[in-house]
Copies of this chain bind each other. A is one copy, B any other.
Amino acid sequence: MAATEITAEDRAFLAAYDPAAYPRPSLTVDVVLMTADRGRLRVALIERSEPPFRGAWSLPGVFVALSESLEAAARRALAKTALDPDRFSGWLEQLYTFGAVERDPRGRVVSVAYFALVPPERLAAAGEGSGAVRLAPVVDGAVEVALAFDHAAVVQVAVERLRGKLGYTDVGFALLPPAFTLRALQELHETILGRPLNKDSFRRRMLATGLLVPTGDREEPVGHRPAALYRFEPVGGRDG
């Protein structure tokens, strides 16, 4: 990792070094797991089973273990929702680190927030029913339930990040099933951005990226002409 070599002096220093000799904050990872369903952006919340704030809703989080990376901790936190963290294949990205001195009544606890995205079908099986997990709708970038700690602010930052990255990254496709219509893609974008989009230019813009490949299939009978299904091709389709 380090671009410089460990010296003999370093070895002596490190042998005597004791991190526990210095006061230091606790470190957690909290995850904002989002999905988009029925025209709403939704955030996975869990009911706290321990104090502080037992019974309150909060983001799933864990204390970071000494031997795990931050992302590994984030996956562990995901397991607190109904998702299987090992089979988790959605979007997972570091969001921001929250370090206000008074943000946690237990003392100084710094939290590295991640945000994660999965299509709603992946959550449906386990999601809403399983007791202490809940998919709360996001209205105007905020959850309507009161959240423990500074988690309401964390959710806000996550929603802003999602909105911001929608235009210049593949982040949107992480919220769709493998095959989807252009309409579904547009409705997703409108749900995230909270405003209507021009249909014509949206189609043109999406198709012009070269990231959409027609599957050849059409959507299920819908009471009108069915739309073509596309899948997302990350690297660059047949004409890049």
- A residues sitting closer than 8 Å to B (CB atoms) are 1-4, 6-7, 9-10, 13-14, 17, 19, 22-27, 51-54, 56, 63-70, 94, 96-97, 99-103, 105-110, 112, 146-152
Query: Of B4, B64, B70, B152, which contacts A148 at CB under 8 A?
Result: B4
Interface of A is mostly: loop
Please indicate the chain B residues that have their CB under 8 angstroms from the CB of A68 in the complex. Answer: 101
Number of identical protomers? 2
Q: Of A2, A66, A110, which is in contact with the most chain B CB atoms at under 10 Å from its CB?
A: A2
A100 contacts B69, CB within 8 Å? yes
Q: When chains A and B are docked, how far (Å) is the Cα of A2 from the Cα of B14? A: 39
Q: A56–B4 contact, CB under 8 A?
A: yes
A26 touches B26 (CB 8 A): no
User: Can you list 17 A-B contacts (CB < 8 A)?
Assistant: A1-B149, A2-B149, A3-B148, A3-B151, A4-B53, A7-B52, A7-B53, A17-B107, A19-B106, A22-B26, A23-B65, A24-B25, A24-B26, A25-B27, A67-B108, A70-B110, A97-B97
A96 to B9, CA, bound (A): 31
Known: A2-B103, A4-B53, A9-B54. 10 other contacts (CB 8 A): A1-B103, A14-B51, A17-B106, A17-B107, A19-B109, A23-B66, A24-B27, A27-B110, A66-B107, A67-B101
Structural contact, B52 and A99, CB atoms closer than 8 A: no
